[in-house]
Homo-oligomer: A and B are copies of this chain.
Amino acid sequence: MIGVFDSGFGGLTVLSALLRELPDYDYLYLADSARAPYGARSAEVVNEFTLEAVDWLFEQGCPLVVLACNTASARALRNLQQLHLPKRWPDRRVLGVVRPSVEALAGIPVGTVAIPDANCHLIGDNLVRASGAEADELVAVLGTEATIASDSYGMELRKLAPWIRVVQQACPLWVPLVEAGEIDGEGTEYFLRKALAPLLPPNEAPKRVLLGCTHYPLLLPVLRRIFSADTEILDQGPLVAERLADWIRRHPEQEANLTRGGTRRYCTTDDPEWFAARGGKLLGSSIQAERVRLRG
């Protein structure tokens, strides 16, 4: 099984794109709904909660776990990859959504390997200079307080695409708005405009905006109204899924561990019926969920 983790049901937007790219594998989705949202929690707490979730997915037998949650990717992935896995799960892998998103922003073609700090990437054995076509382009990354405070997007972008000027904007309340089903209407637009003020006239408009949180694609209709048509809004799900699929293809030794039964299992730490109702709506198909407990 491929494990997919998110603090809530928002990560289903990533799962859904993964299922389109790689439908044959078995998937286990875990939502920590009982402790969501993570976006305003401290680095320490996000680390602990993510570790518990990843351990649980490994214990269920997942050889590979995708952190669909940006907050978890930004706050916990490095610790997981550098400290936790080598110690406890040396044969397993955890991937996050920050790096593939940044590769997409940097215009690095799928199937190539970026060389940090060199403005270059490898296509097969050929070193290719990054285009930098849009020198000095202004790009905005929107995320939770924790994601933005971590500067994960900033650090990766400075390494892979130093010609991009990046504005990282924390968007408090957006996740609670989506969780409350308030994805449109005046109040929602107010809080979207409030967070986006630095990116709206009279300030310079970004050429591209990355939605760096799994919940934000649900706000796309309002965001489309707020930004001018010259600004491209990037939904992370498809970008990330495409690159994760490529990662799996390029790692046959990992791929060999993945089972291909086409099954999907949905687990949540809070009410499974609520999750199945909300999740099914988001996926566009009826699902069943079960409740599980995470412990440190």
Residue among A44, A180, A187, A270 with the highest chain B CB neighbour number at 10 A: A187
Q: Interface code A99-134, partner B: CB below 8 Å = 1, 0 otherwise?
A: 000000000000000000000000000000000000
* CB contact between A176 and one of B44, B176, B274, B293 (< 8 Å): that residue: B176
Contact call B177/A186, Cβ cutoff below 8 A: no
Q: Interface code A156-178, partner B: CB below 8 Å = 1, 0 otherwise?
A: 00000000000000001100110
Contacts A35-B34, A182-B173, A295-B296 given; does A270 touch B187 at CB 8 Å = no
What residue of chain B has the Cβ atom nearest to residue A49's Cβ? B34
Q: Within the oligomer, what is the number of copies of this chain? A: 2
Interface residue? A41 (CB, 8 A): yes
Interface residues of A in 172-196 (CB under 8 A from B): 172-173, 176-177, 179-180, 182, 185-187, 190-191, 194
Q: Interface code A27-63, partner B: CB below 8 Å = 1, 0 otherwise?
A: 0000000110000111011000100000000000000
Which residues from B are CB-within-8-Å of A137?
none
Which residues from B are CB-within-8-Å of A41?
34, 270
Which residues from B are CB-within-8-Å of A173?
176-177, 180, 182
Interchain nearest-CB distance for A149 vs B (Å): 12
Q: Interface code A268-296, partner B: CB below 8 Å = 1, 0 otherwise?
A: 01110010000000000000000101011
Interchain nearest-CB distance for A21 vs B (Å): 32
Contact call A42/B270, Cβ cutoff below 8 A: yes
Complex formed: what's the CA distance from A2 to B54 in Å?
A: 38
Contact call A42/B186, Cβ cutoff below 8 A: no
Which residues from B are CB-within-8-Å of A34?
35, 41-42, 45, 49
Interchain nearest-CB distance for A190 vs B (Å): 3
Interface residues of A in 234-285 (CB under 8 A from B): 269-271, 274
Which residues from B are CB-within-8-Å of A190?
185-187, 190
Complex formed: what's the CA distance from A221 to B49 in Å?
A: 37
Complex formed: what's the CA distance from A42 to B191 in Å?
A: 27
What residue of chain B has the Cβ atom nearest to residue A177's Cβ? B173
* CB contact between A187 and one of B42, B44, B191 (< 8 Å): that residue: B191
Sample 14 A-B pairs with CB under 8 A, ordered by A number: A34-B45, A40-B180, A42-B274, A44-B271, A45-B269, A45-B270, A173-B176, A173-B177, A176-B176, A182-B191, A187-B191, A187-B194, A293-B296, A295-B295
| Chain A interface (Cβ < 8 Å from any Cβ of B) | 34-35, 40-42, 44-45, 49, 172-173, 176-177, 179-180, 182, 185-187, 190-191, 194, 269-271, 274, 291, 293, 295-296
